[in-house]
A and B are shown apart, each in its own frame.
Chain A
Amino acid sequence: MSDQEFDPMTDHEYDGIRELDNRLPEWWLALFGITIIFGFIYWLHYEFGGGHTQVQELNLAMGVIQSVKGSGPSFSEDQLNALFTAETVGKGHEIFTAKCAACHAAEGGGLIGPNLTDKFWLHGKGTSADIFEVIAKGVPEKGMPPWAEQMTEEELVATAAFVHSLKDRNVPGGKPPQGEEAP
Chain B
Amino acid sequence: MKNTTETIHYDDRIVRYFLMATLLWGGIAFSAGLLVALQLAYWKFNFNLEWLTFGRLRPLHTNAAIFAFAGNAIFAGIYHSTQRLLKTRMASDALSKIHFWGWQLIIIGAAITLPLGYSQSKEYAELEWPLDLAITAIWVVFAVNFFWTIARRRERHLYVALWFYIATIITVAVLHIVNSIEIPVAAFNSYPVWGGIQDALVQWWYGHNAVAFFLTTPFLGLMYYYLPKAANRPIFSYRLSIIHFWALVFIYIWAGPHHLLYTALPDWAQTLGMVFSIMLWAPSWGGMINGLLTLRGAWHLLRTEPVIKFMVAALTFYGMATFEGPLLSIKSVSALGHYTDWIIAHVHGGALGWNGFLTFAMVYYLVPRLWKTPLYSKKLADAHFWVGLLGILLYYTSMVAAGFTQGAMWMAMDKGQLVYPDFVETVVRIVPLYAVRAVGGMLFITGFLIMIYNLYKTIKGAPAPQDEAVVVPARVEQHHAGEGHRRLEGMATVFSILTFLAILVGSAIEIYPTLSIHRYVKPTTKVDPYTPLELAGRDIYIREGCYTCHSQMIRKLDFDVVRYGKPSTAAESMYDRPFQWGSRRIGPDLARVGGKYPDLWHLRHMVDPRSVTPKSIMPTYGWLTQKNTDFLGLRRRVSVLKSLGVPYSDEQVSEADRLAEQQAKTIADGLVTQGAPAGLEKKEMVALIAYLQALGKKGGSDE
B229 and A16 contact, CB distance less than 8 A? yes
Q: Which residues from A are CB-within-8-Å of B417? A: 69, 149-150, 152
Whether A21 contacts B238 in the complex (CB less than 8 A), given A36-B279, A39-B278, comes out as yes
Whether A23 contacts B275 in the complex (CB less than 8 A), given A62-B561, A65-B413, A69-B417, comes out as no
B558 and A112 contact, CB distance less than 8 A? no
CB distance from B689 to the nearest CB of A (A): 12
Whether A112 contacts B604 in the complex (CB less than 8 A), given A15-B85, A24-B239, A102-B612, comes out as yes
Beta-carbon nearest neighbor of B613 in chain A: A102
Whether A35 contacts B267 in the complex (CB less than 8 A), given A9-B238, A112-B674, comes out as no
- Interface stretch, picked from A83-91, A118-126, A140-148, A160-168, is A140-148
Cα–Cα distance between A63 and B237 once the two chains are bound (Å): 55
CB distance from A16 to the nearest CB of B (A): 7
B556 at the interface (CB under 8 A from A): yes
A19 and B234 contact, CB distance less than 8 A? yes
Can you list 22 A-B pairs, Cβ within 8 angstroms, ordered by A?
A: A8-B234, A12-B238, A14-B85, A15-B81, A17-B159, A18-B235, A21-B237, A22-B237, A28-B285, A28-B286, A35-B279, A39-B278, A42-B274, A54-B262, A58-B558, A65-B413, A65-B416, A99-B422, A102-B611, A111-B675, A149-B418, A152-B417
B282 and A66 contact, CB distance less than 8 A? no
Q: How many A residues touch B, CB cutoff 8 Å? A: 57
Q: Identify the A interface with B (CB < 8 A).
A: 8-9, 11-12, 14-25, 28, 31-32, 35-36, 38-40, 42-43, 46-47, 53-55, 57-58, 61-62, 64-66, 68-70, 99, 102-103, 111-113, 140-143, 145, 149-152, 175
Cα–Cα distance between A9 and B421 once the two chains are bound (Å): 64
CB distance from B180 to the nearest CB of A (A): 30
State the 3 A-B residue pairs at the shortest beta-carbon distance, nearest first: A69-B416, A39-B275, A150-B421
Name which of A8, A54, A70 has the most chain B CB atoms within 10 A of its CB.
Answer: A54
Beta-carbon nearest neighbor of A15 in chain B: B84
B418 and A150 contact, CB distance less than 8 A? yes
* B614-657 interface (Cβ within 8 A of A): 614
Whether A28 contacts B416 in the complex (CB less than 8 A), given A39-B278, A55-B556, A58-B557, comes out as no
Which of under 10, 10 to 19, 20 to 34, or 35 or more describes the interface residues of B? 35 or more
Whether A57 contacts B416 in the complex (CB less than 8 A), given A8-B234, A28-B289, A35-B282, comes out as no
A17 and B272 contact, CB distance less than 8 A? no
Q: Which residues from B are CB-within-8-Å of A103? A: 601, 612
Q: Which residues from A are CB-within-8-Å of B461? A: none
CB distance from B248 to the nearest CB of A (A): 11
Beta-carbon nearest neighbor of A46 in chain B: B271
- Interface stretch, picked from B354-362, B578-586, B590-598, is B590-598
Whether A38 contacts B674 in the complex (CB less than 8 A), given A54-B267, A58-B556, A143-B598, comes out as no
Beta-carbon nearest neighbor of A55 in chain B: B556
Cα–Cα distance between A68 and B326 once the two chains are bound (Å): 35
Cα–Cα distance between A99 and B272 once the two chains are bound (Å): 44
Cα–Cα distance between A114 and B241 once the two chains are bound (Å): 70
Beta-carbon nearest neighbor of B247 in chain A: A32
B342 at the interface (CB under 8 A from A): no
Beta-carbon nearest neighbor of B268 in chain A: A47
B236 at the interface (CB under 8 A from A): yes
B237 and A20 contact, CB distance less than 8 A? yes
Cα–Cα distance between A25 and B296 once the two chains are bound (Å): 14
B283 at the interface (CB under 8 A from A): yes
CB distance from B273 to the nearest CB of A (A): 11
Cα–Cα distance between A8 and B294 once the two chains are bound (Å): 12
Beta-carbon nearest neighbor of B595 in chain A: A141
